[in-house]
Amino acid sequence: MREIPGRSVRGPAESDPAPLHSAAPASPRRRAAARALGRLEALALGGALTLALGHAAARYRDSLEDPRPIPGVRAGGLAVAGLQGPALEAVVSAAAQAALDRPTHLRAGEVEVLRSPRALGAIAQPQEAVAHVARLGKSGHVLDDLHTRVLAARHGIDVTVGFRFDERRALAQLVEIAPAVERPSLATRLDLERRRIEPAHAGAALLAHDALSSVAVGLASGAQTIALPVAEKPAVAEDPLAALGELDIGTVLGSFDTPYSTEAKEADRTFNLKVGATKLSGFVLMPGETFSFNDVVGPRTPENGFRYGGGITGGELVDVLGGGICQVSSTLYGAAFFAGLDIVEHRPHSRPSAYVDMGLDSTVVWPDVDLRLRNPFDFPVVFSMVVRQGKVHAEVLGARRPWQVAFERELVEVLPYGTIWRHDATLRSGSKVVSQRGMRGFKVKRTRKIYQGGELVREEPRELSYPPTSEIVRQGTNPAGATPETKTLAPLRDPAPHLRIVQ
């Protein structure tokens, strides 16, 4: 057996013996035939490939002239592949109209509003979108077009319908939005409802004309949110509360409520309550300083905001300028009493009040009778007052509450009232009308007790006197006068002999 020069034939493994059979050497003619056959196969394959490429090239050239969009293309979310002429234009126009009414968020700083592109003066351009979808994947650059077509087939391509817009309509919308964005620069201020300090901040304003370009770009790109330019205003020049630094008003040291009538006939008195409370609310009393009610509230005059309302003068109920202001001072006094502030000056009413217990009231008269309070703490305190829904509410706020305070009152003596008779020629002779109800007077002992950690650390007793209020009776002197209506008055009641309130 002859070996084929240049080759060795082995079996399945190196250790196997030589094969039993070996191929006979091919003749030169047979080798030439094999080479010829290979060349024919290569030529056939090349021809087929050339033919295929030629066919593909012809199809590609034909597709460049085809007005129908390639597969996978959408316009404004609507499928348009294979459409042409009026059918294509109808679908793109429908997408354009839907896009005109889609919600668009306009964001200006912290303000965000919804407007449609149509409201912003947008005018759809469906013709441009029709041309765009028809040209997509048909640029004439083979590799670029191939990439586009594969992308469209696999993932889809959505063409946004473009807009142009009417600047006048867009500007009108921006001017309408501007007041909502407008924010004044504010100094440091007290948020008494949340019991915290709000730091100063600069204001803001919407730049309506500058925002036009933002709207134009956003509409053209189909953005769902368009950011509008906002300008920051200069900070407030004077900021007195900024000097207080880290003022802490998170703790209620003392609070007090008094009721008031919400009837229409008491509207002027209620107005005075609100004027007085507004002047006091937010007042900061520094450690060791003394507060004067009259200094802060000012004279009870029309120029200072006050009206005529029911008040006490000379022991009688009459309409006076600033009537009702004593209820404001009494409510603040009650809160200060339970907060543990020092009572520097205080005078009870000349008669018991219907809205506050004896011993917790404090009358004020401009400019002679005042309520003065001193801050004994090592931190500032702030007054908060609200007049709302039939209640005057006062709070003294500060950093912490070191004390618990008790109010104790003991009834010492009841003083009878007298009667004042006044002739009235409009009433029938012998008839009488009570024009002012008589009220007994009282002497009471009021004590403030201050506790710390459950232990009594201080007592502050004081005797207070409430003179009796004379009853005023009008007696008729005219035989032909009017006969008054007889009214039954409810019996008078004395206060409880002992009263204790703890905060």
Predicted local distance difference test score (pLDDT) of residue 9? 39
Q: What is the mean pLDDT of residues 381-400?
A: 97
Contact 479, 429 (CB under 8 A): yes
| Helical (H) or strand (E) element with 472 | strand 471-478
Q: What is the mean pLDDT of residues 297-321?
A: 83
Predicted local distance difference test score (pLDDT) of residue 4? 36
Predicted local distance difference test score (pLDDT) of residue 310? 76
**Alpha carbons within 13 A on the beta-carbon side of 337:** 28
Output the average pLDDT for the chain.
87
- b/e map 87-96, b = 16+ CB within 10 Å: ebbebbbebb
Distance in angstroms (rounded) separating the CA atoms of residues 341 and 329: 14
- Tokens at residue 19, please? 């094969």
pLDDT digits (tens, 9 = 90+) for 56-82: 777 888 888 888 999 999 988 899 988
* φ and ψ at residue 114, rounded to 5 degrees: -105, 130
Contact 434, 485 (CB under 8 A): no
Statement: residue 8 has pLDDT above 90: no
A 10 A CB-CB count for 297 gives 26
A 10 A CB-CB count for 284 gives 18
A 10 A CB-CB count for 330 gives 26
Q: What is the mean pLDDT of residues 336-345?
A: 98
Give me the helices (H) in 156-266, please: 167-181, 208-221
Q: What is the mean pLDDT of residues 200-211?
A: 88
Predicted local distance difference test score (pLDDT) of residue 45? 67
Distances (CA, A) of 103 to 117, 126, 199: 8, 19, 36
Q: What is the mean pLDDT of residues 480-492?
A: 88
A 10 A CB-CB count for 462 gives 13
Statement: residue 197 has pLDDT above 50: yes
Q: What is the DSSP letter of 233?
A: P
pLDDT digits (tens, 9 = 90+) for 34-63: 676 666 666 666 666 666 666 777 788 888
